[in-house]
Amino acid sequence: MYYGLITISVFMFGINFLFNNRYQKESGSGLGATLIFTFFGNLVGLLVLLVINRFQFDVTLFTVWMAGLATLNSIAYSFCSLKAFEHINLSLYSIFAMLGGMVLPFVVGILFYHEPLTVGNTICLLLIAIALAFTLKRGEKKNGFIYYAGVFVLNGMSGVISKAFQAAPYAKTNAAAYSVWIAILSIAVSGTMLLFMLKKIKKPTVKALAYVAGCGSINKVANYLLLLALAVLPASVQYPFVTGGTMIVSTVISFLLGQKPSKREIFAIALSFLGILALVFIT
């Protein structure tokens, strides 16, 4: 059952990346487009979370503080994501996003939370490092690299912040209420910034808002399913499964849409998949 929940979330994350890509093509990648994406996406996501939680959630000071950090990280991640799509396709974007989401939490866990460094962990990290090196081409534009490196780091920081929240000894809410507060603060921050930029922001199209609504709802539901599975399955199994699965789904979607991945990208995905197998099966 729980592997089924993770599998469903993997497909949802792949579709979420697609909607993100389509929104960028429809609305661009500037700060205004990012704020609209953040505001309306979290507004829809908040409604979904409230329905799931039956409109009940609590609050602590530590929860709000950590949700604030997650909010700033999320806005920066959305900005880098939209900018990255100007330079790379969906397949390559998913590599940077998902590998960052797996690697950084593992490294932080080993260095700061005394999680074991196994042979499988070491092999996985080495193969992922090689895979990332293969995705970079000679003469790559520097500004492009900054944005998709930002995707790698900021998506990884999302996991790091979540790890810090879960491991902290302070009074805190459950994970569902924490997600609600992230959505609330994201709406507040992006909405406030939008008020100061109304005259400079291009009005979003109906199609763009539809993509945003899709991203907001799918992302929140997918993360909620992962929270349910995480209560039973270890993170060392869940994160590799999600990372490898989403990369594969995104590559298939990219291929079906005519964005054929290069040989370098296919090789990078193969190396990453081998790294995931090493992480799961080698102790």
Tally of domains in the chain: 1
From residue 67, alpha-carbon distances to 33, 107, 145, 166, 179 in Å are: 22, 22, 28, 12, 8
One digit per residue, the tens of pLDDT, for the chain of length 283 reads 777 888 898 889 889 988 988 998 898 878 889 899 999 999 999 999 999 888 888 999 999 999 999 999 999 999 998 888 887 776 677 778 877 887 888 788 888 887 778 888 788 878 877 877 776 665 555 557 788 889 999 988 988 898 888 888 999 988 888 889 999 999 999 999 999 888 778 888 999 999 999 999 998 888 878 777 766 766 666 666 777 777 778 778 878 877 777 788 788 888 878 887 887 788 6
Q: Which residues contact 219 (CB under 8 A, 6 or more apart)?
A: 12, 13, 16, 41, 45
Structure tokens given for 178: 């924490």
Cα 282 to Cα 259: distance, rounded to the nearest angstrom: 34
Detail the DSSP E strand segments found in 109-239. none
Spatial separation of the C-alpha atoms in residues 195 and 39, rounded to whole Å: 11
3-state SS, one letter per residue, for 63-126: HHHHHHHHHHHHHHHHHHHHHHCCCCCHHHHHHHHHHHHHHHHHHHHHHHCCCCCCHHHHHHHH
Domain hosting 164: range is 2-281
Handedness of CA 81, 87, 89, 95 (dihedral sign): negative
